[in-house]
Amino acid sequence: MGGTRVIRGWLGKAVTVVATAVLVSTIGAAMATAAPGLRAPAGGVQELSVPSSMGPIKVQVQWAARGGSAALYVLDGLRAPGDHNQWTTDTDALRQFAGDNVTLVFPVGGRSSFYTDWYRPSSTNHQAATYKWETFLTRELPAFLQGFGVSRTNNAIVGASMGGNAALTLAAHHRDQFKFAGSFSGFVHPTFPLWNEAMRAAMWDEGNFNVDDMWGPAGNSAWKRNDATVQAELLRGLPMYVWCGNGLPGPLDLPNGAGNTVNAMGLEAMALAAAEMFRDRVAALGIAARIDIVNGTHTWPYWQQALSIARPMILDALGTR
């Protein structure tokens, strides 16, 4: 937990240089079950086991500091591990929001899922259940958290890399749930020509997943539905923050080593192209959005910084300041 990992693949998520996360002592090591009014002490950290059509899903939460009902969903990247959400170990997200009256919600797992509802189980790795992450994040999980006093309608959502585009598209299609969306180094235009092949290569590298079982042939309705740039009109009026690096390394890259930094530069160059297309699209539509393109690569320390920039925007959107 918190060590340096090698970055593999070229759409995969670059992971930590140095683990700076602060893990607050866990409240209740046993898995919790929902019941009306049940929740950990304000500000506590807890692991929940949430029923879903995919089977039980682990969810890590840090409860609102003063018992508030607002929530921030935080999505992992392509290589999401099965035992924890990397935001809790590879960034200081828990510490950033420790004093805020908003519950942090960290879904665990879903590697190569793009946090979407798939057509069928992946046919290339003998996947047992069909990924249904949109259903989980917008129906099953909010219903479960409601039993702990968490609002189903006053939520924000952010994600890095794979989770970035998902955060925007989930917010676009579920405006009744999400009041803010943020994408950090997200690949926010997957229908752009040949990007489906980039995703195919990355998903094969991370678990032998088959992109065709996710959204079918390139360019069909599922691809368009899950493209934040295509769906930009649905984001009109939603506070949002899109952060992307320009691929140039800086001091935050140094602990990674040269090989990882080169890989992270290439990944961010792809994310940069998508961010620029998204920026041009929302500008053409007259949709307000904060979009920052700065020095940086596809690594966790930059996403930690992006989250800290987004934090006051999130708190304002949720009415918790």
Closest CA to 240 of 288, 273, 280: 288
- Classify each residue of 171-195 as buried b or exposed e, where b means 16 or more C-beta atoms within 10 Å of its C-beta: bbbbeebbbbbbbbbbbbbbbbeeb
Is 268 an annotated catalytic residue? yes
- Tell me which of 113, 122, 161, 183 is the catalytic residue: 161
Q: In what order do the strands lie in the sheet with 240-245?
A: 45-50, 57-62, 103-107, 71-75, 155-160, 178-184, 240-245, 290-294
- Tell me which of 84, 174, 189, 298 is the catalytic residue: 298
Is 197 an annotated catalytic residue? no
Residue 188: partners with Cβ closer than 8 Å, 6 or more residues away: 164, 165, 168, 227, 228, 229, 242, 274, 275, 277, 278
Place of tokens 């509802």: 117
Cβ-based neighbour number of residue 38 at 10 Å: 11
Residue type, 10: W
The distance from CA 225 to its chain's CA centroid, rounded to whole angstroms, is: 17
Is 298 an annotated catalytic residue? yes
- The rounded distance, in Å, linking the Cα atoms of 72 and 244 is 20
- What DSSP element (H or E) covers 96? helix 93-96
- The rounded distance, in Å, linking the Cα atoms of 104 and 234 is 25
Closest CA to 169 of 151, 153, 152, 187: 187
- 41: burial class by Cβ within 10 Å (0-12, 13-18, 19+)? exposed
**Residues labelled as active-site residues:** 161, 268, 298
